Structure 1
């Protein structure tokens, strides 16, 4: 099932879940639209007339969100294009993977609920055909 934004249930679980001071890494799996559809925005929105690809729209989001990530103490650890998917259902393909570290879930929540973030998240939403956002916590290997 294609998913772009969190469900109300997922967001409620994120907010009500354990919020501690442990660092987290958010794993972003991204599948871009061929064309971002900015016509879904109100005709009065300044971005309504943009005609760009999904990847270009996500780049706008990335440029705007990076300082917000850094402001809450986070950092983009890694970003790369996928080359080959070795283990996955045939229909599940991703264009890009991004790993973003935050000092805590609280820091992530502070960012995504901020007014500044709400003003730019439409670039992400309109750029993607499908996505996954998975919270992970560091563990020891072995």
Structure 2
């Protein structure tokens, strides 16, 4: 069985042009209880966030936006139920891959696994924004 929480598509990312910043759209669904029994899935995610923000910043990245997902406005709710959304911008795809494949991230990732029943990350190339450039 494939561990869908840890399928990092490095080959797919490396096949894309890496000529500028990339924003990673994170879609997360939390466990009611942390997989290790230490609080809720949200509690485990907060522990993961405290560890991963240092790694994101070390790669020149920044959290652009986060929010609580409230309802599926278009689509099948059971198929697209998310609890939390985050936009994280990295200076390059290579910087994202470097973070995700580091031993420091592997240690932080334990808390992400404790937190999430599902977590999808979509690499997004910006085509329009009203947000100020970093």
Please classify the TM superposition score into its range, dividing by the shorter chain length: 0.7 to 0.9
Structure 1 segments unaligned to the other structure (5+ residues): 39-49
Find the partner of 1:51 among 20, 38, 50. 38
What residue number does 1:30 align with? Answer: 28
Q: Which of structures 1 and 2 has the bigger CA Rg?
A: 1
Report runs of 4+ in structure 1 exceeding 6 Å deviation: none
Is the contact made by 2:34 and 2:115 (CA closer than 8 Å) also made in structure 1? yes
Task: Give the superposed CA RMSD.
Answer: 1.8
Match of 2:5 in 1: 4
**Structure 2 residue ranges without an equivalent (≥5):** 130-134
Aligned equivalents of 2:84 and 2:128: distance in 1?
26
Counterpart contact for 2:71–2:77, Cα < 8 Å: no
Give the total of aligned pairs: 126
- Quote the Cα distance in structure 2 between the aligned partners of 1:19 and 1:52: 41
Q: TM-score, normalised by structure 1?
A: 0.81
